Amino acid sequence: MRLGVLDVGSNTVHLLVVDAHPGARPLPAYSHKAELRLAELLDEDGAISDAGVERLVATIHEALQVAEDKGVESVLPFATSAIREATNGEDVLRRVTLETDAELQVLSGEDEARLTFLAARRWLGWSAGRLLVLDIGGGSLEIAYGLDEDPDVAVSLPLGAGRLTAGDLPGDPPEADDVRTLRRRVRAEIAKVVSEFTRYGTPDQVVGTSKTFKQLARIAGAARSAEGLYVQRELTRKKLEEWVPRLAVMSAEERVTLPGVSEGRSRQLLAGALVAEAAMDLFGVETLEICPWALREGVILRRLDHLP
């Protein structure tokens, strides 16, 4: 069957079309995405602006039309932290349903972490042993750890690259004091939850998912996406620590010239790098593997698990 997963995230609205059936690997058939950056469209009260809601509705309309054109039998629409935490989130959901017929399922931060962990487990297999999975989104950081398909512990922290850029790094390039202040805050937030994970023991493998980790690995020397999904890509803490101070003094326009960095994500890259560096340091991670599957694939896999 042909499924579509519609991910209304903090950075993008992404429709992933896959051909799938229970017991088989979902095969990507088409991808359609629009940069919306909802995390940056909040007003002073934490509400998504009227203009932002209008753009969201129009973008979902377009994605649903693409799904129809591609022969999708069923669309799984969901939303993450940007709508979950917006003060007018319920009103936004009602308007989306009224104007598009799409009933967005709002995932909790823990749901995001667990579904992303499921995707990483299925990609890497049982031989990976105890997994620690890190995912940096636009609005939040998800961390999950476990031996099975459902993690033993999963948390979500408000440390997304888009959120932090909009709230803490207004300059382009940012002021050095702002970078230092954000670095301290990020490390303090992550340090609060480290003990929840370390009591389960040292992971056998550490995985990073999300566009942020992929871009950081690419500028640190990992293979291009054009070389295929099955090429192993890694990010070392040593390389990341070398890049953070360089990113801190670059403008968004200068970061776009780096390999693998998109224009839409260039401003957020420094905040994402600070979060990645802090997580790897505080969890004692020297090297992590980049996993091409993440939340969207987790949603699809969970749906397939429940088909008769």
Q: Is the pLDDT score of 247 beyond 90?
A: yes
The DSSP string of 270-307 is HHHHHHHHHHHHHTT-SEEEEPS--HHHHHHHHHHHT-
Q: What angle do CA 242, 272, 246 make, to 5 degrees?
A: 30
At 74-130, the pLDDT tens digits run 999 999 988 998 999 999 999 999 999 999 999 999 999 999 999 999 999 999 999
Q: What is the pLDDT of residue 135?
A: 98
Please say whether the beta carbons of 26 and 303 come within 8 A.
Answer: no
Q: Hey, where are the domains in the chain?
A: 2-106, 109-295
Kindly state the helix (H) or strand (E) to which residue 28 belongs, with its residue range. strand 27-35
Beta strand residue intervals within 36-130, DSSP E: 74-79, 105-106
C-alpha–C-alpha distance, residues 140 and 119, integer Å: 18
Q: What is the β-pairing status of strands 205-209 and 141-146?
A: unpaired
Q: State mean pLDDT over 233-252.
A: 98
| Of 8-22, 36-50, 59-73, 244-258, the least confident | 36-50
CB 41 within 8 A of CB 57: no
CATH code: domain 2-106 is 3.30.420.40
Q: What is the pLDDT of residues 20-49, one digit of tens each?
A: 888 888 999 999 999 888 777 777 788 998
Q: What is the residue whose two structure tokens read 């031996």?
A: 147
Estimate the crossing angle of helix 269-282 against helix 161-168, to 10 degrees. Answer: 120
Fold of the domain spanning 109-295: Nucleotidyltransferase; domain 5 (3.30.420)
109-295 has the same fold as 2-106: yes
Give residue 267's pLDDT: 94
pLDDT beyond 80 at 308: no
Asked if 44 and 79 count as a contact pair (C-beta separation under 8 A), the reply is: no
pLDDT exceeds cutoff 90 at 4: yes
* pTM of the model as a whole: 0.94
